[in-house]
Amino acid sequence: MELSEIDQINLSAADLKSIAVLTGAGISAESGIPTFRGKEGLWKQFRPEELATPQAFFHDPKLVWDWYFYRRNLIAQAEPNAGHFALVELEKMLRESFTLITQNVDGLHRQAGSSNPIELHGNIFVNRCHECASHFSDDEIDFSEMPPLCPACRGPVRPGVVWFGENLNPIHLEDAFAKSHQATLFLSIGTSTVVHPAASLPEIARRGDAKIIEINPDSTPISHAADYTIRDSSANALPPLIEKIRSIFAVD
Ligand code: APR
C-alpha cells in the first residue's frame, strides 16, 4: 500500500516545540468562500485595483462598499470547515507554543474557536474610520450616506481590512515575523504565497531552521523550499496531520 503524503512526514517531538501556521483563502474554500486567484477566484471576476485600494474607495466609495457588503453576505452564510477545526485542536495541544497567522478577513478561525489569530489583513466585519482609525459596529454607522461618516471625527468610514498599498498593523507584523522565526515547525496552508509581507513568513521560518509543511493542491513559490508538500485540500489534509502530531505528543 502506497504511503500517504502524511505518512511520509517525519516529525520528532523537538519539531513540535513551537508551531507557527500561516493560512490563506484556500483554507476557507471548502466553506464556500471564493479564493482570490483560483479558477473562479475573486480577482478573476473583479479587478483588485478597482475595489481593494484607498484610491478605489475615494473614487467610488459606493462601489467599494457594495463589493464588501456582497462579500460580507457570502461569508455570513459560511461555516468553518474541518481545516479550521483541526487548527483549533492543534492550538489546544500546544497552547502558548502555537501561533496562528492568517491573511483571511472572514473571521472563520475565530468562529471555529481559535483564540487569538493574528489577522494580518484585518477583519471584513469591522467598520473603521479612515482618519482616526476608530472602530464601529454596523448599527453605529449611517450607511445611507456614502462614504459613511465617522461618528467621532466625521472622517470617511471604510471596511476594517488592509488594502493594496496600505501598511499592515506593525504590532501584528512584528509578532508574525518573530513567531515565524522562532518556529520549529511552520505550516503554510491554502495560500498562493504571492502577497508580501505575509508571503515572506515561510522563508523567515526556514531561515530560523523550522521544518516547513505546505498544504495546497497547487504548487506555489515556496513549494521548492518546503520539507513536505501535501497536494490536497486543507479540510482533507489537516485532520490526519493533526492526529499524527497528537500521536507524537502521546509517545514523548
Ligand atoms: N485547500 C487548500 N488550499 C487551497 C484550497 C483548499 N481547498 N483551494 C484552493 N487552495 C489554494 C490555491 O491553490 C491557492 O494557492 O489556496 C490558495 C489561494 O490563493 P489566493 O487566492 O491568492 O489567496 P491568498 O494566498 O490568501 O491571497 C493573499 O491576497 O488579494 C489579497 O488580501 C488578499 O489575503 C489575500 C492575499
Q: Determine the Cα angle at 165 with ends 63 and 137, to 5°.
A: 55
190: left (phi over 0), alpha (psi -120 to 50) or beta: left
DSSP 25: T
- How does strand 185-189 pair with strand 135-136? unpaired
Specify the pLDDT at position 252. 59
Closest CA to 193 of 224, 170, 169: 224
pLDDT in tens, 139-161: 999 999 999 999 999 999 999 99
CATH homologous superfamily for 13-32+80-121+168-251?
TPP-binding domain (3.40.50.1220)
On the question of pLDDT at 1 being above 50, the answer is no
Closest CA to 215 of 98, 113, 83: 83
Ligand 1 atom at minimal distance to the Cα of residue 162: 32
C-alpha grid cell for residue 38? 483560483
Rounded alpha-carbon distances, angstroms, from residue 181 to 7, 133, 163, 169, 207 = 26, 30, 26, 18, 7
Q: Which of 39-53, 106-120, 130-144, 155-169 has the lowest mean pLDDT?
A: 39-53
Pocket residues: Cβ below 6 A from ligand 1: 24-26, 29-30, 35-38, 41, 103, 121, 190-192, 195, 215-218, 220, 233-234
C-alpha grid cell for residue 3? 504511503
Domain spanning 42-77+130-161, CATH class: alpha beta
Q: What is the DSSP string of 70-94?
A: HHHHHHHT----HHHHHHHHHHHHH
- Between CA 233 and CA 142 the distance in angstroms is 40
Name the band, by pLDDT with cuts 50, 70 and 90, for residue 4.
confident
Count the Cβ atoms, other than its own, within 10 Å of residue 111: 14
- Between CA 138 and CA 192 the distance in angstroms is 32
Kindly give the distance from the C-alpha atom of residue 8 to the centroid of ligand 1, in angstroms, as a whole number: 25
pLDDT in tens, 11-61: 999 999 999 999 999 999 999 999 999 888 999 989 888 899 999 999 999
Closest CA to 249 of 204, 196, 185, 167: 185
Kindly give the distance from the C-alpha atom of residue 73 to the centroid of ligand 1, in angstroms, as a whole number: 20
Specify the pLDDT at position 3. 65
**Arithmetic mean of pLDDT, 191-205:** 97
- Between CA 232 and CA 221 the distance in angstroms is 17
Domain ranges of the chain: 13-32+80-121+168-251, 42-77+130-161
Pocket test for ligand 1, best of 192, 214, 236, 238 (most atoms within 8 A of CB): 192
Catalytic residue among 59, 84, 109, 121: 121
